A and B are shown apart, each in its own frame.
Chain A
Amino acid sequence: MMAKIVGLLVLQLIAILTFSAGFFPQKSVLKGDAEFLYHPEAHQHITPRFEKLVLVVIDALRADYLFQDEMSQFRFVHELLNKGNAWGYTAYSNPPTVTLPRLKGIATGSTPNFLDAILNVAGDDSSSSLEDQDSWLRQFRVREQTINFFGDDTWLKLFPRHFFNEVDGTSSFFVSDFEEVDYNVSRHLPQQLASQNTWDVMILHYLGLDHIGHKGGAFSTFMRPKHREMDSVIEQIYSSVDEDTLICVMGDHGMNDIGNHGGSSAGETSSGMVFISKKLENYDKPAAQQHEKLPIETKSEDYKYLTRVNQIDLVPTLATLFNFPIPKNSIGVLIPDFLRLFSPHEALVKLKDNYQQILSAAGQQHKQLDGVKAHIEHMRDLQEDLAKTATNYNYKLLSIGFVLLFLVTLKVGALSNKELNSSIALHLLVAVSLLLSFSTFGSSFVEEEHQLWWWSSVGLVGLSFVKAPRRAVSIFLILAGLRFIRGWNNSGQKYIYEHTMSEILKRHYHWQWVLNAVTILAVPLGRRNQTLRSNLTGFSLSAVCLVYKAAWNVVNGEQVPAWLQKVLLEILPDAAKSADPIEALKTQLVPMARLFFGAALGLVLLELLLHRLNRQSDGLLEKIHSTITTILIFQTSSTNIPQFLVFQIIAPLIESLWRRLWGSNVTALMTIGLVLQHLTFFQFGSTNSIATVNLTNAYNGVSENYNIHVVGFLMCVGNFAPAIYWSTACLKILYTRKPQYNKWQLFAASRLPALLFYCIFGCFLLGSCVIQRYHLFIWSVFSPKLCYYVSWNLFMHAVVGWVLEGLVVVLS
């Protein structure tokens, strides 16, 4: 039976990966450089309106940061906007709203494919390079103009080094760094502005504002000083360039109020964009700007300020102003206001060129249109259509993957029915699977998946109560524990509660750290048969964990109570003595994390050795589970740590209830485990959106030149920490009492329910993705869900459930 299940698992993984390969294809792009399409000779006589370009990208610069009175501190930009030296726009940035796909859009004028969003996280990957794709940078290069670049090194991932003359890349490695990333960009300014004849294009990409958003949300206290800093940078540039230089200040995307981005909410997709030049004063301001006095006092709910344009419209606009052909894959529409800089005849040439170029990208025939307005409107329609149908699916791979998964599901279903005795527990499992499966057809159910898991948990608790009213007290305690977990973080998109536990703990950080300390130090006490040795080693490991978490939070500017800081400096005397304790502490972080991981691994090996020497046949997992829990806590952000205390309290209650109610039925335990894994995953603050992938703990113990696989693994552990806890806890419960049967039979029986769940759910999700492949939300809701499903299946099911837990069973 074991071999059969493993075979089915492998087939299932193949099916899902095949499907994904067909669903997230690399987009086909037109190769080669663009040429003028409409009367090429007419363009020869047009002189470029600007000679130099300074592009200032401020990461996550939402529209209201530039224009709205309450939020914005860009006083100098407001002054320019009012004088008419600057033209402001709200630029719609296509989701996924993360940096790499957005930069692709800004450079090439095309809409991103979903894979780029994943590659943004995955880091160095050559497939996202824009070396062969036409872009405005490439057009500048073809004209042998020099480009200097300073800022986020994502640009250096996208473009080959020979595109740029001078380069200084900063990495968004430490999200907690607000100052240095930007200083590393600004320090080049005096020299660059003094030698303006050496460059034609200068690109600056500032990351600090985005970091502040990620750390403290859109209303963070660090925002205002950062605005002023950016404003002074713009002033510095403006005051030293001549009127033939165009300064373009823009955000690559916006952010939501929590400070995250990646999705398609109004805040995330509305970035600000301002064109600044002394020359613009000679022309009429854009219509929307004429009657507005900046900063705008009224607050716009959908973040629409001044004129609304598409972010990729930047590409044809730059092409027009600098008189080079519009890059081939662009679907941008030039901003009509800028036609004022040309004579009516030239304006028409430029407009028709843009029209022909976008028609060729759409593969459509030329239509005779009259007037600027008609052209612009038709181009906007084309742009909308093109943005929607930006991907072509590989139907062959889709069908192979889907059919294979369907067959595997049938087989797994038949096997479960035979092996699991079609008990009530199996019906329950199928019911939960089907509930979740049907939910994949509704975008709001996918967004609010945590509600369904909560709903299932409540159903299970209610069922237990009906089955065993005499156990009301322990059922009540479990319910109370679960309610605490549910109230810990906001999940989903629809409801944001202000008074979540994590917010309360953040405000009362004294209590947070008391709870954290209790949670971390109580982990060794959760073990069933404690010995002096196990307690000593366990406490030492916990102590290292606590010290690291505290030190990490001090370094990252989080609030840590004074008593804990004192303890910290007591333990690390080097840091206390140095002039800058925080800086000294920072250097200690990596070695400390490595010490922790080394000690944890050593402890596991020690337990294993003792276990082998004593020739015990069971209970290995029981012995190493506290170490595993400590590692999981280590990978959890500090406001979520006390949740593990709740876990530790309710796990034994659930165990005894399960023994009484379900008579130690394996399927029942695994079903409960699945529900708890998902419930706690979402209540740690995760959602089905790429925006909430948490990277803060992915770099624990990783030095500057990091290995992407290590970071990826740590990221998975960090994001799936609660799920791993419940997965291993269920296995531990299963193997606590000496199994009456062969341990492999028990292992196989315990893996089958999860396999069945992932198969049924997968069938419906894949079907839903195929049916809704032209749905409006396919890239913002269904594709991320598919990615999450693949990672649940690969990481939680295959790696944790089969490989790691299988390893423990082998060794025990």
Chain B
Amino acid sequence: MPVKKRALPKKSVSFSDDETLTKSRRSGDKNHSQIHDGPPIYVKRTIKTVPVHLLALLYYYIKLSHNFDAVTLLYMLIPLQLAYLTLQFNANTVYGHKILRLRMSLIPISLGAALVLTVPCMLIIILLGAPIAMLLRETWILSAHYCVLGLPAIYSIFKCNFKVGIFKKYFIAVAVGCWISCVMIPLDWDRDWQNWPTPLIMGAYVGAFVGYSIGSYI
């Protein structure tokens, strides 16, 4: 089409710090070097970060749980996410060529942050189309799941002094999972699992599973 595009600086999205650093050094881009001033931080590309526990929880939720009880699922998710953070995620996150041990004091802080984040998260879910005047408890539980699923990323953000850009892909992955799962809602099959917010919770788990598994490759 003969419509001329305006000349814009070529934008590229990259989540790998190494690459950004080398690139910004090469191009002398001040913008980028300001953000990533510290040592490179990244998640290792390894099969060890695959969150198997999420699949197990999903199986439990779909097959075993009574009436798709999302609250029990949440109670089970929190310790498992902490274990995942300790044993898998943190163990494979590199801060300036080093793998640091889990700092215990940060865990309650990030848990608290996750709890606080449920409120804006809930607002955003409502903005994205959840009912306002009804089912608020369910919406809050969904946002709690969302934030706990993002817990490893929240911890790492605290740990690396708020370089959000590196870890936001995990939040996006969970959100995309929720978004895709919404397709199930309008179907007229009248199944229990179509009730708000069951399909979105399942979608969030699948999204988180995919995100944490392949996040480091993106």
Contact = CB atoms under 8 A, between A and B. Distances in A.
A497 B132 CA distance: 10
Given A420-B1, A494-B186, 7 more contacts: A462-B175, A466-B13, A480-B127, A483-B129, A739-B3, A749-B1, A749-B3
Interface string A394-422: 00000000000000000000000001110
B187 A455 contact: no
Nearest to A484: B127
Interface stretch (A298-306, A614-622, A740-748, A797-805): A740-748
A494 B131 CA distance: 14
The 7 closest A-B pairs by CB, nearest first: A448-B186, A444-B188, A499-B133, A451-B186, A663-B5, A749-B1, A663-B6
A678 to B, nearest CB: 15
12 contacts: A443-B188, A451-B185, A451-B186, A458-B129, A466-B172, A483-B126, A483-B129, A659-B6, A666-B1, A667-B1, A740-B3, A745-B2
Contact of A740 (B4, B133, B134): B4
A487 B187 contact: no
Interface in B1-52: 1-6, 8, 13
B215 to A, nearest CB: 15
A492 B3 contact: no
A500 B132 CA distance: 10
Contacts of A497: 131, 133-134
Interface string A415-451: 0000111000000000000000000001111011001
Interface string A473-505: 000100110010011000010100111000000
Contacts of B128: 458, 479, 483
B41 to A, nearest CB: 19
B99 interface: no
B127 A483 contact: yes
A663 B1 contact: no
Nearest to A449: B186
A811 to B, nearest CB: 22
Contacts of A232: none
B140 interface: no
A769 to B, nearest CB: 19
A650 to B, nearest CB: 13
B179 A459 contact: yes
A665 interface: yes
B186 A665 contact: no
Contact of B132 (A420, A443, A458, A499): A499
Interface string B146-190: 000000000000000000000000001001100100110111110
A454 interface: yes
B133 A444 contact: no
Contacts of B13: 466
B31 to A, nearest CB: 11
A327 to B, nearest CB: 37
Contact of A455 (B8, B133, B176, B182): B182
Contacts of B172: 466
B179 A746 contact: no
A710 B172 CA distance: 51
Interface in A632-652: none
Contacts of A462: 175-176, 179
With most chain B CB atoms within 10 A of its CB, the pick from A659, A663, A745 is A663
B132 A487 contact: yes
Contacts of A666: 1, 3
A146 interface: no
Contacts of A746: 3
A490 to B, nearest CB: 12
A664 interface: yes
Contacts of A665: 3, 5
Contacts of A749: 1-3
Nearest to A466: B172
Interface of B: 1-6, 8, 13, 126-129, 131-134, 172, 175-176, 179, 182-183, 185-189
Contacts of A492: 186
A661 to B, nearest CB: 10
A290 B182 CA distance: 50
Nearest to A455: B182
A663 B188 contact: no
Interface in A200-248: none
Nearest to B172: A466
Contacts of A476: 127
Nearest to B188: A444
B6 A479 contact: no
Nearest to B5: A663
Contacts of A739: 3
A628 to B, nearest CB: 25
A451 B187 CA distance: 11
B130 to A, nearest CB: 10
With most chain A CB atoms within 10 A of its CB, the pick from B129, B131, B182, B189 is B129
Contacts of B189: 444
A296 B13 CA distance: 68
A665 B3 CA distance: 8
Contacts of A479: 127-128
With most chain A CB atoms within 10 A of its CB, the pick from B179, B182, B186, B189 is B186
A444 B186 contact: yes
B5 A486 contact: no
Nearest to A499: B133
A9 B111 CA distance: 58
Contacts of A421: 1
A266 B187 CA distance: 19
Contacts of B188: 443-444, 447, 494
A82 to B, nearest CB: 38
A662 to B, nearest CB: 9
A655 B111 CA distance: 40
Contacts of B5: 663-665
Contacts of B4: 740-741
Contacts of A659: 6
A334 to B, nearest CB: 35
Nearest to B130: A483
A17 B176 CA distance: 40
A451 B129 CA distance: 10
B188 to A, nearest CB: 4
A420 B8 CA distance: 19
A665 B131 CA distance: 34
A502 to B, nearest CB: 14
A429 B123 CA distance: 29
A375 B126 CA distance: 58
Contacts of A452: 186
A508 to B, nearest CB: 15
A489 to B, nearest CB: 14
A448 B172 CA distance: 26
Contacts of B6: 659, 663-664
Contacts of A740: 3-4
A486 B187 contact: no
Contacts of A486: 129
Contacts of A451: 182, 185-186
A745 to B, nearest CB: 6
Contact of A454 (B1, B129, B133, B176): B129
Contacts of B133: 497-499
A444 B127 CA distance: 24
Contacts of B127: 476, 479-480, 483
Contacts of B175: 462
Given A458-B128, A741-B2, A745-B2, A663 B8 contact: yes
